Amino acid sequence: MADALRRLRMELLDMQKPPPECSAGEIDERSDVHTGLINNDIFHWSATIHGPSDSPYTGGLFRLTMDFPQEYPHKAPVVKFKTKVYHPNIDSENGYVDVDILTEKWLAGMSVRYILMSIWQLLKTPDAETPVAQEIGGIYMKDPDKYNDIAKQWTQKYAKE
């Protein structure tokens, strides 16, 4: 657990430097101020990702939670969208993000910044070969225009800044 605490403190400091399209921050339930952790717990983070500009998620502000196990960084965090997202690799019921770097391809050297940028990239380029949302993956593959229209509608409805 000491390794996890040390690593998470270091990563929290690193995330104070804003990356190009995402940031991690605290949600104070009373004031909705974004500054670092959820309820001051180093193992529970909130994060915000701005939708990629060349995607149906343009203009969206997507909120996520990151729950880190005590075995971190040897075990990946669980990342879930709190904002509803129409996407083949995101479970629209519980927000679970299905990306290989959080499962079988997880490496202890991967950082929070890398995870968030990978999820941002996933918004830009879905992986329809292995969708967690089968129906959405099918629409993405068979009718990309319909997929883009629905994803834009959901972004407008659920992810406006």
Q: If 0-12 CB within 10 Å is exposed, 13-18 middle and 19+ buried, where does residue 1 land?
A: exposed
The domain limits of the chain are 2-158
pLDDT class of 14 with cuts at 50, 70, 90: confident
Least confident of 41-50, 66-75, 79-88, 148-157: 41-50
Q: Per the structure block, which two tokens stand in for 129?
A: 């070969």
Q: What is the architecture of the domain spanning 2-158? A: Roll (3.10)
Regarding predicted confidence, which is higher, 102 or 160? 102
